[in-house]
Every structure is written in C-alpha cells, then in structure tokens.
Structure 1
C-alpha cells in the first residue's frame, strides 16, 4: 500500500492548482481525476482572467480586489496562455447611467495595484473601428482592461508542474472510497489500488457534495456531512466573427445580467454566458449541454447590440459547464463566485473541502488551501507560487509579449504550418517541440510529433482530449480531418 501526505480528488483548475502548490512545498501528493483533466467546468468557462466588474454592483469589493490582484500574477505566470484583453462597454442609458459606469470603472482601476494593463477611459463609438460592428444608436461607451486565458491548457500546465515537483497525477481513475481514521485516510481507487494518506482534499467541483455523500466514510461508518451547493449551468455559443479588431465587448442586458462577445480562435466570436440553475435533485451532468432557449437568449441579447444579428442557425459550436456556487440565496447571477475552504480534523485525519471559486482566483485558493493543509498536518510551509512561472511561461527577452515570441519562431520555421498556434499553446517549450522530427501531418498543422507529446506529456488518450481541450482545432477542422485524428488514436489502442 502506497503512502502519501495528501490525496487530492478532482482534476479541474482548483485540484491541479492545489496539487501543484502542495507538491512544491515538499508534500507527497497524489491527484486523482475520474475523467480527463479539465473535462468539465474548467474547460467550459468564458476564458477570462478578470476582476469581475459586475460584482461591484453587489458590493463584493473583497472578491473583486482579490481577483484583480491575481489577474496581474497570472499574466506574468503564463504569458503564452494568458494575455491582456481590452473590453468595449457600449453605453445603454436606459440600463445604467454613465456616471455609475464611470464610478465603477474608477474603482475597478484602483482597487488593486495595476502594472501590466492600461486603465479605463471613455470612448466615442461613432466613426470608430470599435463602433462599426454595433448598431448606430450606440454612439458612446467605455473601454477597460482584463485578460483572456486558454482555460483547459491552464489546468494541464498546473498538472504538469505538480508532476515535475513530485506529485503523481492520475486521470481516468476515480476515488471510489475514502475512509477516515484517526491518523489517516484509507483510499481506494477505481483501478483497485489502495492508498494511505495523512490528509484528503475534496476539490471535485460540482461533484464535491456528492463525493462526500457517496464515497467517504467517517469513523462511525457514515458519509461525511456536506455543504449545500447551487449548481448553475453556464452556456456559450461560437459564431463566425462579428468584428475583426482585437477588443472584446461586454453587453448589458435588460434583465440585469451581462454577456460577453469575445474574439476567438482568430476566425470566430465567442458569446456567453447564461446562468441556469439546476434543480436540487439533479446530479451535475457529466456532459452539460446548452438548451435551445439558452441559444435563443444569447442570440437575442447579442443582436440588441451587434449590427449583424446573431441567429440560432449561425451557431457553429456550443459548450456548457456546471458551476458550483455557494448557496446564499438570491438569483443565480447574484450568487457569489468567491470560494470557501472548509478545513476539518475534528473527526480524525485532516480534510479540506473546496466549495465554489472562479478561474481567476484559483492560484490564491490553492495557496490558501495548501497553507491550511500544512497547519492541519502540524508543519506550515511557505507559499511559493506567486512569483513562479508555469511550464512554458519563461519567454525570457520577450517578457509577456507572446506575439514577438511567435514571430521569432515563425521566422525560424518559415515553411512550418501552425507555428503561431504552437507558440501560444506551449510557450517557451514550443522550441523543443518544433525542433523534433515532425512525422506525418495527421491534420492541417497537426503533426505526429505533437500528438505524441500530448499523449506522453499531457495525459491525452483520445481525439476529443486533443481537439476540444488541449487545443480548439476541432473548431477549425472538417469532420474528415477530425476523423483522421481519431483514427491516429485508434491505431495506438
């Protein structure tokens, strides 16, 4: 039976972030994910690293400040995956007065120290490149800064760094039982492997409550108590690009919510998100899907602003995820996106439950959680991730300028397809990948060398893992090209 200090349940952004931080502090860590890394909520976000401008209206100043602080940290940690993005907010006078927006943007600029991103400003839309895609009645607006992230790859990078620092990372291997003793946990994995662990971290996201109910036992043989979560589905649509500039839009809706329209994958526009609360009795679906009324809602709201309307027949791709939110009452859109770390050792061996959270604050959540685990184990160890780059994040002379780095690589490989994509996906590690013998080109710009890397270094075992999570090449490929990737994987099985 193998011995560990900490077993982490869940391979989303919070679980991999915690495994990375714990391993970097010298703990013996095993992470177990029942499916693929980032296969659910953590690959279904709006792809933003942001403070949460709209949370100012609900007076969540602490959450916004924390998120704004983390925004700067993350931009430095993985500049190939996380890039600055400017947002245009067209002014709709009947929804919010201009003075209120100016006050909100002033707070947004000054709640946390800002070094990498420019501040907000007013914007004349009429006659500008940013007003051209909008209906003519929107003549003025505002522009402010946040960031964009490849969410699924961010999860993979955290898992890679955790492994490099000594953690064992298992995918497609659920924890089927965790029995709590006075001095440790007896953990059983899906493959029958038995483990001993001094502490357990429940970072199962939408399944955190269900994991405690169905797969844990206390000293009395009963499941451990769980906190109630509100499970809220957020859905997105992707259409052909509605604008060619590099800014995104934030649109205010008459129902008090907002949606984003974001330049996506160079040829598309990403529009989202919805907030649809799942019934209490409904378990979080393994593959959340968008409903027809959600598609209609996103199309209708975007068409209120965009000169070129968005119709359901324009939708090329959709995705949806289930967000686990703390149950505090109120509407789904108003429920806090902050996290709660619930540490407990009163009933025996240490347990840390992760409730809620958002992508932007995952590193801080992991830092706080790893500190609490150390305290529960009687050996507090220093935080270390705030100034440390993720794999591929060291662009040396280019700082956070991924475009300059990509241009340099393209010049070095002028006849190679997909160099810009590889640079953005792998950062400084792209140099090694591009220098390797390519092998056959399985689909446009996707060579055997990269597929082997994804299998051997990034836990990919299927075409879906590659096409829809570790890249978004599935959106660019024809059905025949996607099938060629699937056929390559079948030859390996």
Structure 2
C-alpha cells in the first residue's frame, strides 16, 4: 500500500492566494501571538497573510517552561488581574486541545526560611478561587514524609502543598494555530521576512523576502506587529509612514529565560515548584517520559535575541537550586539538553527582571495623517495568547470599521475535537486516554509507544498521517526509530517542515531521544527527498519550497 497522498487541491489554493497579492491584514511574526491572531482574524472572514522570518515557533514560543498556568508567584507582585485572566484561560485551553495540553499537579515543599506557611496557604487559596474550575482539582496540604512525592526530596522537607495547573507542548500549540488559520483561508509564509513596510492613506505597501532572496510586493489594509523580541526594532527599522518618522513609542525589556533537561529525577507524575533564596522560583517537571525539565532563569539580554543561549552560570544556578531540594544532587554534567528563550516584556521600569509584568498591551496607531491602521503587540505570556488574539482581532475590526464577532473560546484547535473517536467529551485528560484506546482498537498493528506519540502529536488529525495504512510497512521506510516516511511526508506537506531541526526539535522532541547519528539520518532523508513542486508555482509558500536554511 502506498503512502497517503496530500489532500487534492491544497497546494493550488495556497498558490492562488499567494499570487493574489493583496490582503486585509498582514501579520509579522509566527510565534504564539502572531499565529493566534491570524487564526482569530481568518475565522472572522478577514483575508490574512502571516510572515515569519524563520520557522514557526523557532524562538520564544518554543522556549517556554511549557506551562498553562495562572502564575502563582505573580500574586506577590499584586498582579491579580493578570493571574485571574490566566486562570480563566487554563481550562479553555485544556478543553481545546487535549492531545497537546493536560492537567498537571505541582508540589511546593515548604521551606520556612523562604515564605511562612500562612502566606503560601493564602496564595494558594486565592489561586483556587480567583477563577472558576471545572476540570482542575483544588489545592491541599501534603505530608512529604509519607506521600510518594516526598521520596526524592531531602528529609528536612516534611510538609508541602499541592495545587493544579496545566502542561502544553508550546511549539505544537503555535503550529495548531497556524494550521487552523490556513484552514480558514489565511496564507502562512515561513522563512519569509518583511523587509519594508510603507504606510499611506490607503494601506501598507510591503516588500517580502522569501527563501533564496526572492522578493515580491503585497498591499495590506492593516498591519499587525507581532514580532516578539523584534517588535520594537521592526517599528524603528522596517515599518514607516510616508513621512519617514519612527513609529516606535514603547520599549521592550528583553529577558532571557534558560532551561536544562536532565535524566529523570523522580518516578511519579507530579511537578515541583521550588522557592529559592533570591525569592525566585524554579520548576522541575516530568518531560518526555525519560527526563526532567528544570527552569527558568531571568537575565537581562543585550543585543540580538537570535543569539540568545544558556551560559555556564545559568546552568550552575539551576543545578544548585534543584540540589537544595533533591536528595540526589543535580550536576552540570547531568545536562543532556538545554535551551534559552527571550521574553519580550513591556518595560515597566521594574528593577528586578523577575518583577517585570507578564501582561500584554495592544497599541494602535490610526492617526488620520498617518493613514492605515497599525497594531503592535507588546508583552504577553503563552497562557493568555487566545485572549490576547481575541482582543487584537476586535481591535483590528474596529480599526477597519467592521466589527465581527469573537468565536475562538468554545472552538477546538486542529486535532482537538475527539468526538469522532470517543463520542461525548467528558474531561480533557480522560478523553485523551479514551482516544488512545480507540486508536489501538482501530489500528492494533501500531506499537503502543508509537500510537501514544502519534496520538499526542496529531490528535484527531492522525488519519492524515496514517492514511490507509494497515501495517507498519505501509508507512514506508523507518528513517529513524519510530519515525516513518509517511509521517515525514505529512510534516513536509502540511506542517511547514523543511529541515531536520523543524522536525526534531519543534514539531516533535524526537531529537532528545535520538543519537547524533540518528538525527543525521533524518537530515539526510529530508535533503534527499524535498517536497515535489508544481511547475506553475513560484511563490514562497511552504508547499513550494524544496530546500532552505534551517533555523
């Protein structure tokens, strides 16, 4: 049986969109905010084009702590509005994509030298009650001497607190928003830079530069600046009104957050939140079955965000703080992988980087003398992306003179609607397990580990990967352990994958499980099997590219 072919007509539709040129809204930035806004606007019927200079989620949005959370520590900074907004979004998101998001219980060992127990109890009480909960259980105290979560901890920690938040595959969350945007008519161009944007009374005249340096022009009625760490520099160097004056009115504070991954430190499924002497916190989270993820740091960043990387002091800091709690010390030599992301936080003149607000601000510019609308996105956090996108889409509609209703709150993300497999949804976590059971029932030839990985990655879209396969052989050559040609072709065809880093570190975390030789096998296969192109297509859409630099 042959590997499943792409849905008929998909590439030609995108090619026609690219050749049309004009759009209602051009969005610059393919992180969580840009893709979320593109999805929302496209679902309201606007003609949307999104451009991303690298791969989707290739910077900040794939380098988070990967939590859907209210931000317990923000209560200390009296950010009750932000925490409540984030808490309200937790369960909305968990219900929208149970394959990539799920509830997670957190353990906070009590260290009397950090914060008094009464203060922690008060904070957790507020955390439980600032927003309605339907899925997530409430908090409780725990005796660490007898509970399994106390086993990995030093004996001096005898009591603690357990509360709920959620986990998310951050890079795939971005990807699902981009997929939904494209399915609703948006054009998504990766590895395409906006190199010039000239504003006049009629709109924006934009120059785009795609892979290989190919350029084309586009006109947009409105421009959304969702460039993340580059949002300020985009306004200072690229987007200009006819008069040439600079549009930037805000300053970003770039804060680097780094994480380390070490072999699994504990056997249970809870995560830890540790209080540090510097009043910061770090998380220790079960990760990819065999590992523990630890982070994050907060360091001011100077220079180009593209060059952000973890340094030895940050590794030492994370290891030292984790070792204050775990019986078995965590050493720099234990680190098997690390990453650093740059948070583009709105500068509120806080002295401590940890105290800079994580809330967002939408800034509009529609002065009559300036012409076409401009919306800039400042700040934000991954948990509130959907609400940010909804607010941004409302604002774009207002600026364009046509309000269109919001729609995303009850809407599942691609792959998140499991009703065709399991019937009526009950709880996101148990719904996923029911889905895995049905998948195994229909495709008993799938090994359990592979079935669970594919279910987690693709949810209800899994049939697009499996096609009509009735055996592992029908999925084609196994390019690397558990990775078959059918899946790679799907990722090339529908998920904008052009090189090994896209596949191994953003669409999946298979790179963490593979040896260097196995990662090279994936890179070699992609280089030898570029996605076929149609002769009549000359635009830089992902369906038409054969080779491109990997970021």
Determine if the TM-score, normalized by the shorter chain, exceeds 0.5: yes
CA-CA distance at 1:135 after TM superposition: 0.5
**Would you say the 8 A contact 2:172–2:506 is kept in 1?**
yes
Q: Give the TM-score normalised by the residue count of structure 2.
A: 0.88
Partner of 1:248: 271
CA distance in 2, matches of 1:39, 1:287: 12
Question: Which residues of 2 match residues 325-344 of structure 1 at below 5 A?
Answer: 325-330=345-350, 331-344=352-365
User: 1:427: which partner in 2?
Assistant: 459
Cα RMSD over matched residues? Answer: 1.1
Instruction: Report the secondary structure of 1:386's partner residue.
Output: coil
C-alpha separation in 2, matches of 1:153 and 1:77: 13
Larger mean Cα displacement after TM superposition, 219-228 or 336-345: 219-228
2:500 maps to which residue?
463
Aligned to 2:416: 393
The Cα shift of 1:287 comes to 4.2
Tell me the residue number matched to 2:510.
Answer: 473
* Counterpart contact for 1:410–1:420, Cα < 8 Å: no
5+ residue gaps, structure 1, are none
Q: Partner of 1:300: helix, strand, or coil?
A: helix
The equivalent residue for 1:316 is 336
> Matches of 1:406 and 1:265 in 2, distance apart?
17
1:125-136 equivalences in 2 (<5 Å): 125-136=144-155
**Number of equivalenced pairs:** 490
1:409 to 425, 439, 460: 439
Deviates more, 1:454-463 or 1:286-295: 286-295
Matches of residues 17-56 of structure 1 in structure 2 within 5 Å? 17-56=36-75
Question: 2:390 & 2:332 partners in 1: Cα distance?
Answer: 42
2:182 & 2:520 partners in 1: Cα distance?
31
CA deviation string 1:104-136 (max 9, x = no partner): 001000000111100000011102210001011
| Residues 257-313 of structure 1: per-residue CA shift (max 9 Å, x gap) | 00000000000000000001113xx232x1421000000000000000011110000
Give me the whole-angstrom Cα distance separating, in 2, the residues matched to 1:295 and 1:169.
36
Question: Distance in 2 between the 1:291 and 1:218 partners?
Answer: 40
Q: Partners of 1:216 and 1:434 in 2: how far apart? A: 44
Q: Which residue of 2 aligns with 1:137?
A: 156
d(CA) in 2 for partners of 1:177, 1:453: 33
Task: Give the equivalent residue in structure 2 for 1:165.
Answer: 184
Which residue of structure 2 lines up, in the alignment, with residue 294 of structure 1? 314
TM-score norm. by structure 1 comes to 0.98
**2:83 corresponds to 1:64:** yes
Query: Does the aligned pair in 1 maintain the 2:99–2:415 contact within 8 Å?
Result: yes
Q: Distance in 1 between matches of 2:117 and 2:377?
A: 39
Aligned to 2:243: 220
Q: Counterparts of 1:98 and 1:225 in 2: how far apart (Å)? A: 45
- Whether the aligned pair in 2 keeps the contact of 1:80 and 1:427 (CA below 8 Å) is yes
Quick one: distance in 2 between partners of 1:142 and 1:411?
A: 39
Distance 2:444 2:323 in 1: 41
- 2:464–2:490 contact (8 Å) kept in structure 1: no
Asked whether the equivalents of residues 215 and 223 of structure 1 are also in contact (C-alpha less than 8 Å), the reply is no
Gaps spanning 5+ residues in structure 2: where? Answer: 1-19, 531-551
Partner Cα separation in structure 1 for residue 239 and residue 364 of structure 2: 16
CA contact (8 A) 2:294 2:318 kept: yes
Q: How far is the alpha carbon of 1:441 from its aligned partner?
A: 0.6
Give per-residue Cα distances to partners, 1:206-256, cap 9 Å, x unaligned: 000011111111121233224110000000000000011110000000000
Q: Secondary structure at the match of 1:38?
A: coil
Partner residue in 1 for 2:299: 276
CA distance in 2, matches of 1:263, 1:309: 17
Structure 2 match to 1:444? 481
Larger displacement relative to structure 2 (37-46 or 478-487): 478-487
SS of residue paired to 2:475: coil
Alpha-carbon offset, residue 408 of structure 1: 2.8
Given that 1:441 and 1:447 are in contact with CA atoms closer than 8 Å, whether structure 2 keeps it comes out as yes
Q: Work out the CA distance in 1 between the residues paired with 2:249 and 2:260.
A: 34
